[in-house]
Amino acid sequence: APPAIIAPSILSADFANLGEECSRTIKQGADWLHVDIMDGHFVPNLTFGPPVVVKIRSHVEKPTQRYGKGTFDCHMMIAEPKKWVKEFKKAGCDLYCFHYEAAISSTAAESPEDSSELKTSPRELIRYIHDQGMLAGIAIKPATEVDVLWDVLDSPHEKERPDMVLVMTVEPGFGGQKFMASVLPKVEALRERYPDLNIEVDGGLGPGTIDQAADAGANVIVAGSAVFGAKDPAEVISLLRDAVNK
């Protein structure tokens, strides 16, 4: 598996001090920042949009290389993933990770006349994200079978292949939920087929659950409450890293 990438989820940060929280987490050893974007539609919760991302971007140095330190890993829990690609690129997003479930059913309920433009296949959406100059990720919810990902991962066109797959280990929407070990066979299946793929896990990760996820083959580790709620976040970050790299 590729080396560990630790991506604290700022959903558990102090929103009144977001800029400082972001720069501090990077200083404490985080590689990426995981930025949870929720639209109150794809998931039953709301977080923040491009203007907030612009502001926090200025507190964290831009990565100097692909997958480098300071990468903004935007987890797009939104019903219309295609619609926001350009806006988030402009705001400073480096990796745009959309949900497979949203891409295949995005029909713009509020504005049916636009629906044909917003509907897009996962392959086309990945190509579009790459054309805008971002890394592309594709996420699946706990109930979605891993097999739906073979189509993009096996595409003959490099631009249609994702740079990362996110296997949700909780139902998306909220921080602080219980880790679902039942989804780990999906991570194992991905790792077996794609030894070099960046496989991210998100939800309920911390010192008590990291070993199972790492053994299954995950290397990109999101942790919200476990990092931001810790007395010593630096220690938790290095513990997570060591569990993956062991």
Q: Which of 14, 31, 36, 163 is catalytic?
A: 36
Contact predicate 70/63, CB 8 Å: yes
9 is in an annotated binding site: yes
By CB under 6 A, what part of segment 179-208 binds ligand DX5?
Answer: 202-205
130 assigned ligand-binding residue: no
Among Zn ion, ligand DX5, none, partner that 115 touches (CB below 5 to 8 angstroms by kind) = none
Asked if 191 touches Zn ion (CB under 5 A), the answer is no
Asked if residue 224 lies in contact with residue 179, where contact means CB atoms within 8 angstroms, the answer is: no
Known catalytic residue at 36: yes
Give the nearer residue to Zn ion in terms of CB position, either 5 or 127.
5
Binding segment (CB under 6 A) for ligand DX5, from list 18-26, 165-173, 180-188, 212-220: 165-173
**The two structure tokens encoding residue 121:** 């296949």
Contact set for ligand DX5, span 25-84 (CB under 6 A)? 34, 36, 75
Q: Give the interface size with ligand DX5 as a residue count (CB under 6 A).
A: 22
Strand order in the sheet with 71-77: 5-8, 220-223, 198-202, 164-168, 135-140, 95-99, 71-77, 32-38
Secondary structure element (H or E) that encloses residue 95, with its range: strand 95-99
Which alpha helices (DSSP H) does 28-65 contain, by range?
Answer: 50-57
Q: Which stretch binds ligand DX5 (CB under 6 A): 89-97, 122-130, 149-157, 220-228?
A: 220-228
Is residue 223 near ligand DX5 by the rule CB under 6 A? yes
How many Å is the maximal CA-CA distance in the chain? 52
Structure tokens at 97: 């990770």
Residue whose Cβ sits closest to ligand DX5: 224
- Reduce the DSSP state of residue 200 to 3 states and report it: strand
105 annotated to a ligand binding site: no
Rounded CA-CA distance 214/158 in Å is 27
Instruction: Indicate which residues carry an active-site annotation.
Output: 36, 202
Where do contacts with Zn ion occur on this chain (CB under 5 A)? 36, 75, 202
Where do contacts with ligand DX5 occur on this chain (CB under 6 A)? 9, 11-12, 34, 36, 75, 170, 172-177, 202-205, 222-226
